Structure 1
Amino acid sequence: MAESVDNSLTDRILRLVSKQDSLPEFPADAEDLPSDYEYDPDADEEIEEVEEISENDLLQYLESERSALSVAKQLFFTEQLENANQLQLQVLSPDDVHTLYNVGAVVIDNVIDPAIIRGANQEAAVMKDNGEFQPAQQYRKEGDDMFRDETARDDQTVWLDPAIDYEQESKQHLNQVLRMISQGLLQDLSKIIHLNGKVEYQLAYYHPQNARYERHRDAFPVSDREDVTQRRVTAIVYLNPDWVQGDGGELRIFGKNGEADQDIAPIASRMVVFLSGVADHAVVAASQDRYALTAWIR
């Protein structure tokens, strides 16, 4: 079942705020109250202080109340999980489904023909040479945090749309990767997780001069199935056919409760799928060109 109103993201934050210092008790004796004659209109007006809190601190507060994974699990169809072997899955396996549910992230290799990945890599390189990418730190859209740290990332990005016929624009291999996500993975996920249909697709390039992306999370954890603001699932497909150990650019997923961090190599035909509001992650500094296609699914 969807979470009750009392468990919405907004209400959880308000409960955390209410745990902070409370107002003093109102005096029981009226004689303790100041009279009208004691009011001084020339006295300095008390200024209300607003305490700012960072996104990471807010996530830690939410995590202390309830683990992000336990919140996100409520978006899953439990009856489908119990019968995962009977689902007609195209990209995920039943084991992948259970790993995503129990751990919050899963790594899947050989999701698409290596020849397609090599072609997509070449098309992405042409796009870079044509100036189609722009620094991600400079890109803003309506609703973005105006105080966002613009020094946290070095990648360049371009938005893609699977509805566009990229085959007519010499991007047929990228189009095949997009179709694998939009027609394969998305269908699989819709059988196990309550989704609202909106998906964003972004192609990212990390330059070889130590381009990186600092630790962050793609969304706040929610279990309200009617929520349309928070991303629910992140899927990353790597387009690096010549990557070797030492090239950098690994995806680092940070462990919790004593668990070790996991570094995932961005090798060709590999896809990482994780719950957007659960996994803290970063991109390790790259020493070779690094391309990845990411889908954020709400």
Structure 2
Amino acid sequence: MNSEDRGLSAGLLFEPIIEGILSDGYGVTDNFLMPDEVTALANRLHERRKAGQFRAAGVGNQNVTVADTIRGDEILWIEEAAATSEEAAFLQRITDFVEYVNQTCYLGLREHEFHYALYPPGTFYKRHLDQFRSDPRRKLSVICYLNSDWQEADGGQLAIYLPDSDEATEQQIRIAPVGGRLVCFESGRLEHEVLPATRERLSVTGWLKTA
């Protein structure tokens, strides 16, 4: 594939996300990962969890505490130096996305950080904002789902709260965690929450940051 073909392919994949962010503050695209890529990363997630590498997620920035009344997921940070081939391929696609965003939106993104997230059945993450008051570098939040054959009855939607133009009311958007789907939104603007699911809910979640 030559550079022109790669650019066209990136545009088809990334442009719906950009358009959504510019118009509504969030964007969604399906098939960011193909089914075999979803399966490979989900298998790697389960292998790492079985090996005891996951830990309960915390809240806060400088003083992180575990509070299962606020969030109930387990996480594992993905380190580029120790990434498997599947993880490295995902991170490279994110790098391609960052380059596309910088070329089209001039956000000056320089870094990214990602972790696996597993929500056991019945767990949740209450409404929150991703950008810390003490650290404004997080510009875009990114979630890519690793769930196969997800059904509406399984729950586990991402609920995003969009303020209406009058700022006095808001709209709730619910997005199902369908495998291969990527959601991207402004970290410092849109509050959101993870609703409980009836089965394990898997994702790779992270942030695109300025230097």
Q: TM-score, normalised by structure 1?
A: 0.60
Distance in 2 (CA, whole Å) between partners of 1:126 and 1:118 is: 12
| Selected match of 1:164 from 71, 81, 88 | 81
Show structure 1 runs of 4+ deviating over 4 A: 145-150
Cα deviations by residue, 1:239-263 (Å, 9 ceiling, x for unpaired)? 0013111112110101323443111
Contact 1:116 1:176 survives alignment (8 Å): no
Which range moved further: 198-207 or 173-182?
A: 173-182
Q: 2:208 aligned with 1:290, yes or no? A: no
Partner residue of 2:145?
A: 238
Partner residue of 1:202?
A: 115
SS in 1 for 2:31: coil
Partner AA of 1:110 in structure 2: N
Partner residue of 1:92?
A: 14
Cα deviations by residue, 1:13-68 (Å, 9 ceiling, x for unpaired)? xxxxxxxxxxxxxxxxxxxxxxxxxxxxxxxxxxxxxxxxxxxxxxxxxxxxxxxx
Partner residue of 2:72?
A: 154
Partner AA of 1:199 in structure 2: H
Q: Which runs of 5+ in 1 are unaligned?
A: 1-86, 222-226
SS in 2 for 1:97: helix
Partner residue of 1:253?
A: 160
Distance in 1 (CA, whole Å) between partners of 2:120 and 2:89 is: 24
Q: Which runs of 5+ in 2 are unaligned?
A: 1-6
Contact 2:31 2:181 survives alignment (8 Å): yes
User: What's the CA shift for 1:88?
Assistant: 6.2
SS in 1 for 2:113: strand
Distance in 1 (CA, whole Å) between partners of 2:203 and 2:71 is: 15
Larger radius of gyration: 1
Partner residue of 1:82?
A: none
Distance in 1 (CA, whole Å) between partners of 2:68 and 2:136 is: 22
Q: Which has the higher contact order (CA 8 A, sep 6+)?
A: 2
Partner residue of 1:185?
A: 97
Partner residue of 1:214?
A: 126
SS in 2 for 1:260: strand
User: What's the CA shift for 1:218?
Assistant: 0.5
Partner AA of 1:106 in structure 2: G
SS in 1 for 2:81: coil
Cα deviations by residue, 1:132-187 (Å, 9 ceiling, x for unpaired)? 110002x77xx5256896631000001112x32533xxxx32332222112x2111
Partner AA of 1:189 in structure 2: V
Contact 1:196 1:228 survives alignment (8 Å): no
Question: In percent, how many aligned pairs have the same letter?
Answer: 26
Distance 1:145 1:193, change over 3 A: farther
Distance in 1 (CA, whole Å) between partners of 2:65 and 2:173 is: 29
Distance 1:88 1:202, change over 3 A: same
Contact 1:236 1:272 survives alignment (8 Å): yes
Partner residue of 2:176?
A: 265
User: What's the CA shift for 1:297?
Assistant: 1.1
| Selected match of 1:117 from 11, 32, 38 | 38
Distance in 1 (CA, whole Å) between partners of 2:72 and 2:40 is: 24
Contact 1:119 1:173 survives alignment (8 Å): yes
Q: TM-score, normalised by structure 2?
A: 0.82
Cα deviations by residue, 1:105-150 (Å, 9 ceiling, x for unpaired)? 011111122111111111111112111110002x77xx52568966
Structure 1 vs Structure 2 CA RMSD: 2.5
Distance in 1 (CA, whole Å) between partners of 2:25 and 2:126 is: 20
